[in-house]
Amino acid sequence: MNANLKVNRENFNELIVPVYAPAEFILTRGEGSRIWDQNEKEYIDFAGGIAVNALGHCHPVALNALMEQAKKLWHLGNGYTNEPVLALAEQLINHTFADKAFFCSSGAEANEAALKLARKIGSLSDNPNKNEI
């Protein structure tokens, strides 16, 4: 970060496109479900990173796993695979009804897959010509 940049709420309006109304404070750290601002005021993080951070902030087990994986591979698209993905798929299959696992990168992909699977199951079980949910 630029050492000359004064970090405050006013900077947001100067530097960031206002597509949402952010909180009036600047967060500096988090632990579990709690977050702290620049004045060390504590808050409960009910948003959880907007649906992507269900594990809370800085849990030591998750943090260690992230650091170890980042030393090996940072990010792979769906066209590649790796050992952790295969291990997770196997665990999911062994502990659920599924024969295969499905992974995706976004909620849009997940919703699209859910709709396609629902249509497929409907056509297999009810009517082969069925194309509406």
pLDDT tens-digit series, residues 74-124: 877 777 788 888 999 999 999 999 999 998 888 899 999 999 988 888 778
In-domain check, residue 132:
no
Q: Let me know whether 107 and 59 are in one domain.
A: no
Q: Let me know whether 62 and 84 are in one domain.
A: no
Find the CATH number of the domain harbouring 20: 3.90.1150.10
Q: What is the residue range of 32's domain? A: 1-72
pLDDT tens-digit series, residues 30-60: 998 899 998 999 999 887 766 566 778 888 9
Q: Let me know whether 78 and 30 are in one domain.
A: no
Gap between the Cα atoms of 8 and 15, Å rounded: 11
Q: Let me know whether 101 and 120 are in one domain.
A: yes
Is 57 within 8 Å of 35 (Cβ atoms)?
yes
Q: Let me know whether 63 and 83 are in one domain.
A: no
Q: Let me know whether 52 and 115 are in one domain.
A: no
The pLDDT of residue 53: 63
Binned at pLDDT 50, 70 and 90, residue 24 comes out as confident
The pLDDT of residue 1: 56
Number of helices (H), then strands (E), in the chain: 4, 3
Q: Let me know whether 11 and 37 are in one domain.
A: yes
Gap between the Cα atoms of 133 and 130, Å rounded: 8
The pLDDT of residue 99: 95
Task: Give how many domains the chain has, as a whole number.
Answer: 2
